[in-house]
Amino acid sequence: MTKQSIILGIESSCDETACAIIEQNGNILGNVISSQASIHAPNGGVVPEVAAREHLTAIRPVIKETLKQAGLSFEKIDGIAATGGPGLIGGVLIGTVTAKAIASACNLPYYAINHLEGHALTARFTHKLKFPYLLLLASGGHTQLLSINALGDYERYGTTLDDAAGEAFDKGAKILGLGYPGGPAIENAAKIGNPDAIKLPIPRQRYNDCHFSFSGLKTALAQAILKHPKPIPVADFAASLQATISASLANRSEIAMEKFVSSKLMPDEPVFVVAGGVAANKEIRRDLEYLATSKNFRMVLPPLEFCTDNAAMIAWVGMEYHLIGKHTGLDFAPKPRWPLDQEASPPPGRGVRK
């Protein structure tokens, strides 16, 4: 029996300190996440300096617990992968320095991983998915549509021009007094709300492109609350906001599907993958699945635990590069911004998230 390569991955780009160990067949041997959500909740969002200090405190015990869970020592690991960006630079630095130190001390190859690539390739280990496929990446800081053509070959169809979908949930929840993190809070409140009660504009609906914009939706929500008679029906506002975000994601995704189908890489069975923290929202998953079916795409949704930030996805991308013998030099500098498609033309407007 051929020996399975084993990669240890570290994720620290935002407010989760995570470590995972994965085999080349996709089997996860250890997976530990230390969340800072309760620490940042009083502030209604992540405070970068606080997040960095928490990563520094948590990273060693998280790695130790992952090794214990897997029943392994560093001697059994074949490579160390860590998020090298994009993200909050303090956390990315801590993960990067830790990974480099382990790789250097244990004489192991080091892999600097693009956090977005982790989300982009999650379905490769959860569903054994083959290239190419269409991806909607919707997370706290990023909302993008990309054609995932091959390892390291990604074509961006659209990105967010300002706030990402996850930010719209967080800011909407803060306006409604629902707390942090906003995604789960909005989804929970929306369960008893009427999504048609409050009329909110679907962002960029008139534009025939794949770009997203959610900052105006936040403003529209705040103005609708000011104009509405008291008391405010919070559940109705939450349901309406959720439905509007979902409609925007579906609207842009439909355009991307048409573009993907007309591309030269179009496979016999087109696949639509939805990844990132926002993909954990059940209504959004249902709406996008309906869209995919109507457009003859096979919908692939990674398990919920692999939609939010995790180290298994980072370890897996490290594994993919390990298997083709492409490692990163120890002189790698962490990148607060790191676009997946290096050749993509700048989208219109300012405040672009790459």
* Pairing assessment for the beta strands 6-11 and 153-158 based on DSSP bridges: unpaired
- Which pTM was predicted? 0.93
Superfamily of domain 6-122+306-323: ATPase, nucleotide binding domain (3.30.420.40)
| E strand segments, the chain | 6-11, 16-23, 28-35, 79-85, 110-114, 133-138, 143-150, 153-158, 271-275, 298-300
Average pLDDT by stretches of 10, the chain with 354 residues:
88 95 97 89 84 93 98 97 96 97 98 97 96 93 94 96 93 93 95 97 94 94 95 97 97 96 84 93 95 97 92 98 97 94 79 46
Name the nearest CA neighbour of 82 among 64, 94, 66. Answer: 94
What sign has the CA pseudo-torsion 333, 334, 337, 339?
positive
How far apart CA 67 and CA 74 sit, in angstroms, is: 8
144: β partners: 137
Note the pLDDT of residue 208.
93
The domain segmentation of the chain, as residue ranges, is 6-122+306-323, 131-301
Residue 3 has what DSSP assignment? P
Note the pLDDT of residue 212.
96
Q: Which residue has the tokens 């492409």?
A: 326
Note the pLDDT of residue 1.
54
How far apart CA 314 and CA 80 sit, in angstroms, is: 10
Asked whether the domain spanning 131-301 has the same topology as the one spanning 6-122+306-323, the reply is yes
How far apart CA 289 and CA 283 sit, in angstroms, is: 10
How far apart CA 327 and CA 307 sit, in angstroms, is: 25
Note the pLDDT of residue 40.
87
CATH number of 131-301: 3.30.420.40
How far apart CA 344 and CA 354 sit, in angstroms, is: 9
CB 132 within 8 A of CB 121: no
Name the nearest CA neighbour of 122 among 260, 252, 274. Answer: 274
How far apart CA 29 and CA 22 sit, in angstroms, is: 6
